[in-house]
Amino acid sequence: MFWNNLAVAANFFVEIAVELIVLFIGITFLVGLIQEYVPDETIKKALGGRHKVLGSILGAGFGALTPFCSCSTIPLLLGMLNAGVPFASAMAFLFASPLLNPVIISLFVILMGWKVAALYFAVTFVGAIAIGLLLDALGFADQMKSMAAVRSCCDCKQATDARSRIQRSAAFAFGLFRQLVPYLLLGAGIGAFIHGFVPTEIISRFAGPDNPLAVPVAAIIGVPIYIRAETMIPIGLALIEKGMSVGAVLALVIGGAGASIPELTLLSAIFEKKLLAAFVLTIFAIAVAAGYLANLLVA
């Protein structure tokens, strides 16, 4: 029995790990190319002086295309605010950046199907816009701490010919891959263990579609812990195959990636407590909404 389970787990690990690695490098290279031709200054200029709704849409859109390295999101957010980008647009960018990028969406499509991927994209994209507009309407713009001008770690003069851009994009893709491959393999490994060894009935009983509290509990668990979306998706696939509801998995991904402890620690340096709490609560609400909608879609 043990050796059969081990073989099943090993096969799952190899299949998922290979898919993740190939997809990650390919899509990340494309993201690098996009960043080469859409620099940070262009984003700041495009978002400045826009109508709040349009600015929030653009902010969420740019957030979905930005690199997901830890050195970029918060400095770029500060750069936007210091450059006069509307508060609503900046908040939409902040929410969308860790949750929406081509790699994450591609992983959802490959591992969970286009319907789940489309729902995830729609809810998180609309949620990013709603967060920006809601926090702005409630007057949270004055909950920002005083900030000095911040320069993005990627702002520097570089060659702009096509060959140089391709080389930098390739270096970005492989550099980020070396940085994140432990997380990808960890996710595949945990997913493989769940797939091979965890009894189906346990997960079905506590986190299956028949448990109405599975979605909010998953969102609550996700918010305080650090789960990279790229790590959680293969784990979520194994959990779904064992009986966990799709909605609970989406809630866990959104809660964990949207409000991780490292991100909240950085944000606490520039957000007052009320704004930080409001940000966490809105992410929790969107995670729960996405979870219940996903369960309805699957049902």
Q: What percent of the chain has pLDDT over 70?
A: 72
Amino acid found at 286: I
Residue 129 has a pLDDT of 92
Q: What's residue 260's pLDDT? A: 65
Crossing angle of helices 162-197 and 2-37, in 10° steps, is: 160
Indicate whether 214 pLDDT > 70. yes
pTM, to two decimals? 0.66
> By percentage, how much of the chain surpasses pLDDT 90?
2
The domain ranges of the chain are 2-298
Q: Which is more confident, 251 or 210?
A: 251
- Average pLDDT for the chain: 76
Question: In the prediction, which pLDDT does 125 show?
Answer: 93
Q: Which residue from 253, 236, 242, 237 is spatially nearest to 203, judged by alpha carbons?
A: 242
Which residues touch 62 (CB under 8 Å, ≥6 apart)? 38, 43, 46, 47, 93, 96
The single-letter DSSP state of residue 38 is S
Whether 175 shows a pLDDT value over 70: the answer reads yes
The model's pLDDT over 273-288, given as tens digits with 9 standing for 90+, comes to: 888 888 888 888 888 9
